[in-house]
Amino acid sequence: MCRELGISVFAYSPLGRGIMTGQIRSPDDFEESDLRRRFPRFSPENFPKILVLVDRVKELAAKKGYTPGQLTMAWLLAQGEDIIPIPGTKKIKYLKENIGAVHVQVSKEEEQEIRGWINELDLRARGFRRGYWMSSTTLRPCSRRSMRLLALPTSPIDRDSDRTPEVVLPMHAIT
């Protein structure tokens, strides 16, 4: 829907703060203060399902000679110029690794294979409500104002419009 409206999507924390790199193997690996402990999708019930995806990505990345993080970022970059991953890091070695993702070639078959793995995920989560998003501290309804923070018009027509497109996305599509 965002693409149809000419809206770029910024993929915040595309590596899941260590999950997609394989560094986190259990919800118990989260620090006590980590907000992910409260997210239903990271529950002990769901985490093994997430690890199936992580392990598949890790295996494919190894075959290609890259890290799981690089393959994850390359897959996101392969989705189109309107998908912009914004990874964060505190270490130069991870910054260099993230930058290396631009050199990873993802074939159409690999892109579809990874998409299939993602679509297979069946994360049961009580409390997910459509049309809501998670900020750092609260769960609140999407509003025109919150979409202005998340959605940036990319076409000249949208930029000149006095109307901000309203898009309601499920929480998992944003966080």
pLDDT in tens, 68-127: 999 999 999 999 989 889 898 888 999 999 999 999 999 999 999 999 998 888 776 554
CA–chain centroid gap for 160, Å, is 29
Task: Using a cut of 0.75, tell me whether the model's pTM lies above it.
Answer: no
Q: Per residue in 8-42, is it b (16+ CB within 10 Å) or e — as a string? A: bbebeebbbbbbbbbebeebeebeeeeebeebebb
Q: What is the pLDDT of residue 167?
A: 41
Mean pLDDT over 132-140 rounds to 34
**165 vs 110, more confident:** 110
Judge whether 24 and 18 are in contact, CB under 8 Å. yes
Q: What is the pLDDT of residue 125?
A: 54
Which of 7-11, 57-61, 148-152, 158-162 comes out lowest in average pLDDT?
A: 148-152
CATH 3.20.20.100 fits 7-174, yes or no: yes
**146 vs 59, more confident:** 59
Judge whether 73 and 101 are in contact, CB under 8 Å. yes
Q: Which amino acid is at 168?
A: V
